[in-house]
A and B are shown apart, each in its own frame.
Chain A
Amino acid sequence: MQNALSVVFDSLPYLLQGSFLTAGIVVFAMFLGLFIGIFMSVGLVYGNRYIRYILTVYVWIFRGVPVVVLLFLFYFGLFAFLGLNFSAFATVSIVLGMTTGAYQANIFKGAILSLPQGQFKAASALGMSDIQAIKSVVLPQMLRLSIPAWSNEYSIILKDSALAFVIGAPEIMARTQFVASRTYQHLSLYITAGIIYFLLTWAGVIGLRKLEQYVRIPGYSQHGNQ
């Protein structure tokens, strides 16, 4: 017990350093996902048949294949095959970004479809082009409606980022495993790692809830609009 605590105490700074990499993965993946999600959702709703078909297949693949399998496929397979020399960090960020992009595409699609029909028409009636209407009427509403789902995505990506250790990116989980294999204090170390993830998860979720309140427009919420 004594030993377990001292190991945890000694290795804590080392483990916590891993959270920078974890945070990097999450931030990169979230924004890549946001970018992919927005473009895809617009394509899924307003695109022609072929665009919709291709995007649907993309969503199907990234929502159906486990993250570990994607990591192995991209890191050891596809990227090498294509001659791309991506680091483990870059690979994890890209794979998680593409995965959450598939989910975010569906979230945004749902949000666009739940906007009252009249919004787009009203924008067009004011003489806006389609792009202008999407940019200044559809997107601002859609992003607000999507914050709750977005917070869910954040928590999923954060937890999935712990899988980066299977390809050797030195984030929290990999570091914990490294220390544990040397000190044999598995239980206390993994519980410590668990606590770090727990705090990161709920801090982010609560932060996004605050954001949601901050950008809220009176009388306008997911429920109010259904």
Chain B
Amino acid sequence: MELSPFYQDLFTSLNSGLLMSIALIVPSAMGGVLIGITAGAIRTYGNRFFRTIIDCYAAVFRGTPLVIQLFVLYFGLPNIGIYLTPYLAAVVGFTLCSGAYQSEYVRGALLSIKSGQYLGAQALGFTTFQTIVWIILPQAFRRAIHGCGNEIIYLIKYSSLAFIVTCIELTGAGKTVATEYFRFTEVFGIIGLYYLALVSLAIIILKKIEHRLFIPGFGHH
């Protein structure tokens, strides 16, 4: 069966756009988690000075739209002589924004660990380092994973904003084709299906991980 030129064009564009989307999502997700863990730990255990700074970072990135953050990075920074490529601007924006949200879950997870858990470990002669590695982290990880995973799913969806700073990913690629052929319903319907596939895949993987790590008393339903 031969596809019409429209569909041939569409799928070629969407598939290369998809690759770009993945190239945006994967490093941003990893960077976001890394920043989230660091920022979350500082917001929980840091001294007042660092805590205040990181609290402000989280409040700013959670309190403003991601588009604005991207515009500041891509269109704004050149005003002071800093030029980022579209791809870099998008990845930096996604990472910083995602990290701010992730830190919220990490902080919540760390705060939810009762002081008795530290006491119990200390009483058995654990060093502080051993307590963190063997008691605190495994518990915090399980408490945070659901929220952090959800945040990655948001990131997948919001990666669609990269085209606004001219980094042509799935949405941008589709938009070009839609405008050219003037067939918006089909194109954006199909793009929607692409995202549904990505998001559903991520949800399935996340559920698998959560299921594997499940421990009575730590469940999230």
Query: A residues bordering B, Cβ < 8 Å?
Result: 4, 60-61, 63-70, 72-73, 76-78, 80-81, 155, 158-160, 162-163, 165-166, 173, 177, 180, 184-191, 193-194, 197-198, 201-202
How many Å from the CB of A223 to the closest CB on chain B? 11
Decide: A73 and B192 in contact? CB cutoff 8 A. Answer: yes
Partner of A72, one of B62, B67, B178, B200: B178
Contact status B63-A64, CB under 8 Å: no
Q: Which one of B65, B77, B192, B200 has the highest number of Cβ atoms from chain A below 10 Å of its Cβ?
A: B65
What 9 pairs between A and B have smallest CB-CB spacing?
A: A77-B185, A187-B76, A73-B188, A77-B184, A162-B65, A76-B184, A66-B160, A187-B79, A159-B65
Chain A: minimal CB distance from B43 (Å): 17
Q: B76, A191: Cβ atoms under 8 Å?
A: yes
Q: How far is the CA of A194 from the CA of B80 in the complex (A)?
A: 18
Candidates B63, B78, B159, B195; contact of A202 at CB < 8 Å: B63
Interface size range on B against A: 35 or more
Q: Is the interface of B mostly helix, strand, loop or mixed?
A: helix
User: Do B60 and A190 touch across chains, with their CB atoms under 8 A apart?
Assistant: no
Task: Provide 19 A-B residue pairs closer than 8 Å at the C-beta atoms, listed in order of the A residue.
Answer: A66-B160, A67-B160, A69-B192, A70-B192, A72-B178, A72-B184, A76-B188, A77-B186, A80-B184, A81-B185, A165-B67, A186-B72, A186-B78, A187-B75, A187-B76, A187-B77, A194-B60, A194-B64, A197-B63
Whether A68 contacts B63 by the Cβ 8 Å rule is no
**B171 lies within 8 A of A69 (CB):** yes
Known contacts A72-B175, A73-B184, A76-B178; is-contact A187 B63 (Cβ 8 Å): no
Return the CB mask of B178-199 against A: 1 if under 8 Å, else 0: 1000001111110110011001
Structural contact, B185 and A73, CB atoms closer than 8 A: yes
The contact of B76 among A163, A190, A201, by CB within 8 Å, is: A190
Q: Shortest beta-carbon distance, B114 to chain A, in Å?
A: 14
The A-B contact count (CB < 8 A) is 121
Whether the Cβ atoms of B68 and A186 lie closer than 8 Å is no
Which of B72, B185, B186 is in CB contact (< 8 Å) with A190?
A: B72
**What 1/0 mask marks residues of chain B from 28 to 50 whose CB sits below 8 Å from any chain A CB?**
00000000000000000000000
B164 near A: Cβ within 8 Å?
Answer: yes
Residues of A within 8 A of B185 (CB): 73, 77-78, 81
* Nearest chain B CB to A175 CB, angstrom units: 13
Tell me, in angstroms, the Cα distance from A179 to B141 when the chains sit together.
46
A197 contacts B178, C-beta separation under 8 Å: no
A173 touching B160 in the complex, CB below 8 Å, given contacts A69-B188, A69-B195: no
Contact A72–B188 (Cβ < 8 Å)? yes
Chain A residues with CB under 8 A of B75: 180, 186-187, 190
Tell me the nearest residue of chain A to B76, going by C-beta.
Answer: A187
